[in-house]
Amino acid sequence: MIESDVSISRMSGTRERILDSAERLIAEQGYAATSLRQIIAAAKVNIAAVHYHFGAKEDLLDAVVLRKVAPVNAARMEWLDRVEAQAGAGPLRIEDVLESFLLPTADTAQQNPDFVRLMGRMLTEGMMPSLVEKHFQATVMRFSAALSRAIPYLPRQELMWRVHFMIGATAHAMSMKPILSGMEGDAPDMNLRMRRLVTFLAAGFRAPSNAALPESKEK
């Protein structure tokens, strides 16, 4: 629905300026705290231009997020492609799958500091479960399948819950400004943070499915 390329209509300029301003301000202040009037003032456009190009405020957020998230999800897919190609018919390493999900985030964070804040805001602030779902559903499904292949003995239901635990931990880890004592040092190093997370999650995924839990009917 949203034209993603530039070729048509020569890129109005207005549209891009709105997106840039919105991205910066939302990353800084959050979605709710950022008014359309702030955005259009920074972009030096009229407020009606926002509604012309995007519709409601939430739709503008959707466009902002899409512009940043789509390349990251693409990078994740490519990374996972490589991992799967290298594994061939053999087993998949859990760590490799998790890295293909987590490290593209860190790479992007390096070259665009706003990105992490924006993602954190998106996942942390209300920003519509529907919006999150829309942008991540396909990616999550693809990774769930890969994880299922890496841990074939794990019942599907249990795997799905662990995927959710992973998503929650990741969202929190990304948005976190580490304020608890003893972790001031590596606050900005998103790559280290994500590698810590890989270690933690890999162990969690490997944990034996608790036989005492009632789910013997699955898989």
Partner DNA sequence: GTCTATACTGAGATAGAC
Partner DNA sequence: GTCTATCTCAGTATAGAC
Give the binding site for DNA (CB under 7 A). Answer: 9, 12-15, 34-38, 45-49, 51-53, 55-58
For 43, the 3-state DSSP assignment is helix
Among the listed ranges 17-25, 50-58, 69-77, 165-173, the one in contact with its own copies (CB under 8 A) is: 165-173
- The amino acid occupying position 64 is V
Q: Is 200 in the site for its own copies (CB under 8 A)?
A: yes
Contact partner at residue 48 from DNA, its own copies, none, CB < 5 to 8 Å by partner kind = DNA
CB of 45 to DNA, least distance (A): 4
Contact partner at residue 20 from DNA, its own copies, none, CB < 5 to 8 Å by partner kind = none
Structure tokens at 197: 């997370």
Q: Quick one: 177 exposed, middle or buried, by C-beta within 10 A (0-12, 13-18, 19+)?
A: exposed
- Residue 34, φ and ψ in degrees, nearest 5: -100, 120
When the beta carbons of 71 and 155 are compared against its own copies, the nearer one is 155
For 154, the 3-state DSSP assignment is coil
Among the listed ranges 3-11, 17-25, 67-75, 121-129, the one in contact with its own copies (CB under 8 A) is: 121-129
What 8-state DSSP symbol labels residue 105?
Answer: H
Residues 6+ apart with CB under 8 A from 24: 42, 114
- DSSP E strands in 50-189: the ranges are none
How many chain residues touch its own copies (CB under 8 A)?
Answer: 57
Residue 123: name the closest of 10, 4, 59, 31 by CA: 31
CB of 118 to DNA, least distance (A): 17
Q: Is 64 in the site for its own copies (CB under 8 A)?
A: no
Task: Give the residue, chosen from 30, 66, 71, 136, that forms a contact with its own copies under the rule CB under 8 A.
Answer: 30
Within 13 Å, how many C-alpha atoms sit on residue 198's CB side? 20
CB of 9 to its own copies, least distance (A): 34
- DSSP E strands in the chain: the ranges are none
CB of 48 to DNA, least distance (A): 3
Q: Quick one: 123 exposed, middle or buried, by C-beta within 10 A (0-12, 13-18, 19+)?
A: middle
When the beta carbons of 56 and 187 are compared against DNA, the nearer one is 56
Binding site residues, its own copies, CB under 8 A: 30-32, 124-126, 133, 140-141, 144, 156-158, 160-173, 176, 178-183, 185-186, 192-193, 195-197, 199-210, 213-215, 218
